[in-house]
Amino acid sequence: MIFAVAPGRGPGPDIKHLRRLLIDLPEPIRITTVLADAGYDGEWVHEYVRGEGGRTIIPATIGRPTSKPPNGRWRRVMKQRFKQMKKTYGQRWQIETVNSMIKRLIGSAMRARRYWSQCREITLRAITLNVMILRREYKAFLQSKL
């Protein structure tokens, strides 16, 4: 299920949307672990998520390769402990599956031409995918009751 959407035109860094996505989550949803790629590697990301009561698993690989430890407490922790967290980090495939499902089931071509219409279309695609998932789960539930 998709719980928050930050539509926009790319290419561009996704890290600028992180705070808004976490704030926009519906009330009963609480994020306990954030799995993100190296594009989200920033000390402020770790501090923000941990300040909200969650934990982060983000590889500390942004910047030039060096033998020195990364700057910032949480980035150093990630560098030291990332191998131990590799199994949990492997769950990132789930977001890639959601992206693939949207493209496969709903289509990858945008029909809207103006920016705000494109943002609306992306949001509607996320809602449509959620409805499709709920419908499939409901059908499976009904089948199990027969």
pLDDT band at 130; cut points 50, 70, 90 = very high
Phi, psi torsion values for 55, nearest 5 degrees: -130, 160
Give the pLDDT confidence of 60-110 residue by residue, as tens digits: 887 777 788 888 899 888 888 888 888 888 888 888 899 899 999 999 898
Residue 6 domain-assigned? Answer: no
Supply the pLDDT for residue 128.
95
Structure letter (DSSP) for residue 27: T
Q: Is 80 helix (H, G, I), strand (E, B) or coil?
A: helix
How many folded domains does the chain comprise? 1
Q: Identify which of 49, 50, 41 has the alpha carbon closest to the alpha carbon of residue 79.
A: 41
Give the pLDDT confidence of 11-61 residue by residue, as tens digits: 888 888 888 888 888 888 888 899 988 888 889 999 999 988 889 999 888
Residue 72 domain-assigned? Answer: yes
* Residues present in the chain in total: 146
Supply the pLDDT for residue 126.
94
Phi, psi torsion values for 88, nearest 5 degrees: -65, -40
Residue 98 domain-assigned? Answer: yes
Range of the domain at 82: 14-145
